[in-house]
Structure formats: C-alpha cells, structure tokens
Amino acid sequence: MSRVEPRPAIRREEPTVRRERTLAVAIFTVCASFVALWPYTSVISAGGWSLVSVLVILVVAATGFVVRQLRAGRADRVWSTLVAQVLVAIMALTALAFSQGAIFAVIPTRTTLTSLGRHASEAFEQVQYGTAPLEATPALGAMLGIGFAVIAILLDQLISQRITLLAAILVATVGAMPMIITLGDANVPWFVMLALLTLFLLRHSIRHDRTSPRRASLGVTVSLGAAAIVAALVITPALPVSATWIGVGTSVQLNPSLRLGDDLRRPNPFTVMTLATSTATAPYLRIASLSQFDGETWTPDESDVQPLSDGFGAPDWADNIETVEKRTSIRVSGISSPLLPVPFPATKIIGLSSGWTVMLDNRTVVSESRDAEGQDYTVTTQTALPSREQIQAATTTSAAAASAAAADESDDEPAEDLPPVIAETAREVTADAATDYDKLITLQNWFRSQFSYSLEAPVDGGFDGTGAEAVAEFLDVRSGYCIHFAGAFALMAQSLDMQVRVVVGYLPGRPTDEKRGDESIFTVSSEQLHAWPEVHFEGIGWVPFEPTASLGVPTNFAAAATEGGSGAGPTTPAPSAAPSTAPTSGPELDRDQGGSSTADGQSLQRLDPTPVLLITGGALLALLMPALIRFVIRLRRRIRARHGDAMSAWQEVRDTLIDLRLPVSEAHSPRARGAALVQRGVDAEAMHVLVDAVESISYARTAGETGNLSPALARVTADLRRSVDLRVRVAAVLAPRALFIARGSRGSVLA
C-alpha cells in the first residue's frame, strides 16, 4: 500500500462566477418562497400579513447573498450564512410585527417574547375556529411571517447545497397545505408554477455540479420538467386531496319552477353539493318557496329582502317552544343559480361574499349579481321542536285569510274551480282526525302508504305537470314523483283551510366515509332535487311534511314525556316502489345527535389540524425516503460483509465516498484507493483488511477465507465520515448521492 493516489486540487471559482452563483441561489430562494406563499392568498384576506412575509423572504435571501460573497472560500461559510440569516430574520420580524418594547425596534426583549406568545395563541384560535378566508389580523400576520422566515432559510440552504429535490418537496408541501386543509379545488396555475420551479431548480443544480455531464443531464431535466407540467395540467385537476369535494365539470341551471321531471330524469347524476355537519344526519336544503297557485302553476314567493349582514329577522315561534341550534357547512359544486341552498330556518350565514340578500318571509338567500356555483359557507339554524301535545293544541293559519292578504299584494289570480276530487279526498282521508296536526299526519301517511314513487308514470299517463288537472289524475293513478305528492298535499291541505306552501330544494345528502374531526361528510346528488309542502301553525311557524312515498323523512313529533321534538334522526332511502311508513322525524325536525360545533364561524373550510398532521407525516416520509433506502442497502452490505463478501464491503466503501463527495475514480486499483484513504486519515489496519480481501477475490486463483469484514468496513466508513464536516455528513444521510449516480458515470469530486 505504498502507492498513494494524489489528491486533486480544489478548483477556485472566479469572483464573477461566484457572484453569479450566489445571486442565482438568492433569486431561486425568493421564487421558491413566493410559490409556497401564493396559495395562502386564497384562504387569508388581503392585508399586512403578505407584506410581512414578502419582506422577510427578501431579507433572508439578501442576507444569504451578502454573507456568501463576503466569506467565499471559508470552511464555515454554511454555518455563518445560516446564523446571519436567523439573526437578520429575527430583527426584521421584530421590527415588522413586535417593535413595541424592542430595543431600537429591532432587538427583541422579554416584552417581545410575551407579545409573541399572545400572538401565537390568538393566531391558533383564529385558525382553529375561523372560516376561510381568514381575517388578516396582526397575530396571524406575525405567525405567517415567522413561518415563511423559517421556510425561506431552509430553501436557501437546500438550494445553495444543490439539494433541490428536497427544496421542491418543501415548496409543494407548504403550498398544498391550504388546499388540503380547506378541502379546496386543485389550483392548476399553482401546480404549473410548481412544475416550472422544479424544472429550473433541477437545471440549476445540475448546471453547477462539476461532476455532471452537461448534455445528458439537460435532456433528463427537460424530460422531468415536461412530465411535471403535463401532470400539473392533466392529472392534478382530477386528483384533489379529497375527491368528495370535486365538481364534475357540469352544473344544474337551477330555477324555482316546479318542472322537476326533466331534472330528475337526467342520466348520469352528479354531485351538486357537499355538506359537513356534526349531527348524525344531513338536513333538507331549500332554495325557494311557492305559495300562490293559479290552477296551473305555483308561483315563487317574492317578498322584501335585506342584506345578509342584517340577519334573518325575528323567530316565528313562541317562547315556550323548545329549539335546537345546529350548524351545517355547505360547498356548492354543481348548481348555477342566484338562489342559495340553505337549511331551514336559517338564523346566520358566514363565509359568503357580498351581494347576497335574505328574503325574510321564507328565510331564503338570493342575489342579483352572484352565483351559487363554487360558494362555501356555514349556516346556523334554530329549529323549533314542539312536543306532540303542543303542536296538536296549535291551529294552522287560515288559508282564506292568508290568500286574501296575499291577493292585496299580488296581481296573480287565485285558483278557482279546482277539481272536486281534491277537496273530497282530503275530507275523506282526514275524517277521523281531531286536530289540524293529526289531519296533516294522516294525510302524509296516506300518501306514503297508498301511493308509489315513479318518474315514468306521469309521462306515460300524460299528467307530468303541476296543474290542478294533473293533481286530480295523480290521485287516481296514485303514482308520480315529488312534485305530484307535494302539489296534491298542498292543495288538499288548502282545501281544509290551512295556509300551505311548496318548497323546492334538495333531500338530505348521502353519508360518505370521510370525516373532519367530529363532523360527518355528506354529498348531495343532482337526482336529489326535491319538492315538499309546509304548513303554518300559529305560535310554531312553518312545519314541513314529507308525503312523497319512499323518499325523505316523514314528520312525526314526539310526546312531551320524551322531551318533545322528533324521534329518530332522518334517513334518506333510495327511490323504490315500496313506500316506508315508519314514523321518524321530518324535514329539519331532527334533534341534534352529535352536539353543536364549538364556536361560531366553523364551516366546511374550518382548519382541522388532522390534515396538517397527516400531510406533515407524509412530507417527512417523502423527505426521509432516500435515507431509508440507503440505510437498507447499507445494512444488507454489512450483513454480507459479516459473511466475508468482500465485493459488497468494497462497494459500500465506494458509495460512502460518493455520499460524502470524496474523490472516486474507477481507474484506480483497490490498493491505490486504499492508500489514498489512509492518507486521508482512515485506519490503516482496517483498510488493509478490506484491500487484501478484494485483491484476493479479484486476482487470486483460489480465493482464501476472508472472514468477518463487517468490523473493518464499519471502521473505514466511520473514519470517512469523520473526515468531512457536519454539513456534508447531514447531506449524505438525507440525500445520499450514491442512489442517483451510476457506477462509472461520475468523475472525481472533492468535498
């Protein structure tokens, strides 16, 4: 082992080249940080937070550039750059967010730390209970500034060390978090920017790697970048984090007319809404009510409106009526309409943009300039839950009085000369009922038990309409869909002198397997478009009923002994010819089984920490995957070396050199390489054991016993790691270069 391989000299860079490289690192740090920052503008309102984050990013990048220029060629350049960036970032954040009480407004004090703790607590509470877009508070701005200072420093260090794969993963993880937490749609432009950034980062890394063949690496980089862009444009819109929350590229052009047949008979139903609620079941959702009937059509109600911010007006029930409050978060993905789906009776809505107004008489939400498509909002409802005795004691509002009052305010002519069969059948069916409520329950159960649901019978029978003649035909055929049930029930209740209206909306959604904390996720399909009647009771308000056979949830209030309200929670059976008459709770009358939300303002976009933990764990796994793979390979070689496999041991020595950026040349013999490593400080005896074993395997006619080579291998690789600084050792563990460099494809390189 007398022959020693000469150590190549370290090539010094010209000042101009060095300046270009450090400037490129600073530019890429700023670009990567801005790409990571961009998605947060969609979940946080415009404000000072963005200025704080941008300034901190610029300061960190500029500090890195200056320090690298001043300490060029120094062995401690990495650590000095890191320390300088941390110190400058602290001073910048103190000046921008915590200047009160700081020395010269930039040096933090105990007062600064106290303020930091208070800001952190306020920001956490805002994120936990807030609704996107979050308000741009000083506390949230300060925490985001700190977060992006850390991210900018990490990106700067990774890019400067050409560990660009980890830098790209970090940008992707941070940037995707708003979409993951809020279950938002894929931001295609952002994915394109991420793909382009990754392309340029890879190109930058390979361009400045002296061991990389320029031509071949350029082709690989372009191919990777092109594939990333194609994936961003084609795959990402179809692969969101939560597929439940994705629109399908179509929407229902919704209007409040009752020509529902065509919509219900649409082929290929698709998701139009997604709900999140802490209750065991989802509510009915209304878009409009219709009170006036002229013999042929039901006319949508029109009444005074007021801005959504002014609320929904006074409640419609007496003080002795029990109520329950619940919240439902709604995301509309397939409805194009100026009418917003809401549960009843709504008392508060948050998360909507300006332009929406409240129609007070029916508590619906409308707009002259906005569209329901893509809206995310949370509705608070206050539902009256009278006991059965209370509602039996109440009387319905007179239909005649209500019609007279409506006629004074409307030009529509009331219906006259309805087919006699409607009133006659109503009196016959309810003859044995003593109270108004009992009459309506009897009527509801009669429809659900004596009729069948069908989309085709009205078409085949020629009564696919909303007029009085169609209702008369429906009572004879006893088969139809929701509009026939709702229209017939309404006209029959009206003939009994009860104030009634028909509501257009959607059945309760179907449950999914997804959860958001304690909230269940439901989807509403286009085929669940529905109509049902409501009757007004004095002192209680509008009470919904569900006469449609086999659909929805029939109304049935519980006796006072069970604390009033409804029975079991509602279910949504699929349409069938066999009606269900089991008395359960009615539309919007189900008692809250899951408890209320913890605070006002929780919505579908509530920032649940669970996805953050999952994505953080996934990101850490992705970051550590190269290290895990390299660990398994190293372990297998150690086991083989323990059994005397000299070539496995020698290959591990070679790969360790590559990981540590130490000189490797396939032209050197094992003896020459061993001598060079001994010169570098490797234990001579351990190196001699490995070299003799390799030469024995390679050159001896009859290979002798090599014995256990594992101790010698462990000593050699440990000495190699001690010969380089900590930065190189960490990089060798997290980003082992031997995984990505083929044998014989690289020249010599020095750490």
Q: pLDDT by residue (tens digit) across 500-509?
A: 998 888 888 8
In this predicted structure, what is the pLDDT of residue 151?
A: 92
Residue 262 shares a structural domain with residue 319: yes
Instruction: Quote the domain boundaries for residue 350.
Output: 252-562
Does residue 280 fall inside a structural domain? yes
What token pair was written down for 432?
A: 């044995």
Residue 649 shares a structural domain with residue 538: no
Does residue 216 fall inside a structural domain? yes
Look at strands 252-253 and 335-336 and give their pairing: parallel
Q: Which of 244, 260, 285 is the last residue of a domain?
A: 244
Residue pair 428/495 in contact by the 8 Å Cβ criterion: no
Residue 208 shares a structural domain with residue 272: no
Residue 158 shares a structural domain with residue 90: yes
Look at strands 364-367 and 356-359 and give their pairing: antiparallel
Q: Which residues of 342-355 are buried (b: 16+ CB within 10 A; e: fewer)?
A: bbbbbbbbbbbeee
In this predicted structure, what is the pLDDT of residue 440?
A: 92
Residues in Cβ contact with 171 at an 8 Å cutoff, skipping those fewer than 6 apart? 32, 35, 36, 155, 194, 197
Does residue 574 fall inside a structural domain? no
Residue 315 shares a structural domain with residue 450: yes
What token pair was written down for 485?
A: 């049930």
Residue 360 shares a structural domain with residue 397: yes
544: phi > 0 → left, psi -120 to 50 → alpha, else beta; which? beta
Q: Which candidate, 399, 389, 405, 426, places its Cα nearest to that of 540? A: 389
Residue 351 shares a structural domain with residue 430: yes
Does residue 2 fall inside a structural domain? no
Does residue 387 fall inside a structural domain? yes
Residue pair 502/489 in contact by the 8 Å Cβ criterion: no
Does residue 597 fall inside a structural domain? no
The structure tokens 């409040």 sit at: 256
Residue 421 shares a structural domain with residue 472: yes
Residue pair 709/689 in contact by the 8 Å Cβ criterion: yes
Low-confidence residues of the chain: pLDDT under 70: 1-20, 72-77, 128-133, 180-186, 204-268, 401-416, 561-623, 666-667, 700-705, 740-751
Residue pair 537/397 in contact by the 8 Å Cβ criterion: yes
Does residue 121 fall inside a structural domain? yes
Q: Which of 244, 269, 294 is the last residue of a domain?
A: 244
The burial class, CB within 10 Å (0-12 / 13-18 / 19+), for 494 is buried
What token pair was written down for 424?
A: 């006659």
Residue 697 shares a structural domain with residue 555: no
> What gap in Å lies between CA 737 and CA 751, rounded to an integer?
13
Residue pair 505/285 in contact by the 8 Å Cβ criterion: yes
What pTM did the predictor assign? 0.46
Residue 137 shares a structural domain with residue 25: yes
Q: Which of 222, 244, 266 is the last residue of a domain?
A: 244
Residue 421 shares a structural domain with residue 278: yes
Residue 227 shares a structural domain with residue 268: no
Q: How many residues does the chain have?
A: 751
Question: How many domains, in total, are found in the chain?
Answer: 3
> What gap in Å lies between CA 406 and CA 725, rounded to an integer?
87
Does residue 587 fall inside a structural domain? no
In this predicted structure, what is the pLDDT of residue 57?
A: 92
In this predicted structure, what is the pLDDT of residue 78?
A: 73
> What gap in Å lies between CA 158 and CA 25, rounded to an integer?
10
In this predicted structure, what is the pLDDT of residue 207?
A: 54
> What gap in Å lies between CA 689 and CA 692, rounded to an integer?
5
